[in-house]
Amino acid sequence: MAPAKMSHDELSIDLKNEDGGETLVFRLRGSLDLATAPAVRAALTDATDRGSHNMIVDLTHLEFLDSTGLGVLIGAHRRTTERSKTLRLIVNDGPILRLLNITGLIVVFSVYRSMEDARRDSDRLTAAL
């Protein structure tokens, strides 16, 4: 049986502590948009406020990202930077990577293709020419 398709206004957030509690990994699935942005903003803000963690946000299973969702990620990046911590994004080739390129946010965020690259801070993606 095929997995049920999420409706456009659904999002699941899987949160996991890694690296002995130093890194919080958020795996997002579904859509990060106007309807779901408040929940993601709250989760990322809470994680930042609760402690000084580096954060990795896995967007590889995200089906849709709009400007509201980008705003949430920008805010999380600002908060982690203010605390001298990092926010790293994981993306696949496709619409989300194109969106980061088009908006120029690919040079603002630390963006990687895999969890391993994000953890090691290696092979960071750069702007496509």
pTM: predicted TM-score of the whole model, two decimal places: 0.89
**Could you tell me whether strands 11-18 and 54-65 are parallel, antiparallel, or unpaired per DSSP bridges?**
unpaired
Edge-to-edge strand list for the sheet holding 110-112? 11-18, 23-32, 54-65, 87-90, 110-112
In a domain, 126, yes or no: no
How many domains does the chain fold into?
1
In a domain, 24, yes or no: yes
In a domain, 129, yes or no: no
| Mean pLDDT, residues 25-36 taken together | 95
| Mean pLDDT, residues 2-24 taken together | 71
Q: How far apart are CA 4 and CA 39, in angstroms?
A: 22
Q: What is the pLDDT of residues 31-75, one digit of tens each?
A: 999 999 999 999 999 988 887 789 999 999 999 999 999 999 999
Q: How far apart are CA 56 and CA 110, in angstroms?
A: 10
In a domain, 4, yes or no: no
In a domain, 109, yes or no: yes
How many Å is the maximal CA-CA distance in the chain? 46
Q: How far apart are CA 52 and CA 48, in angstroms?
A: 6
In a domain, 40, yes or no: yes
Name 61's bridge partners.
29
The CATH number of the domain holding residue 80 is: 3.30.750.24
Per the structure, the complete domain to which residue 79 belongs is given by 11-120
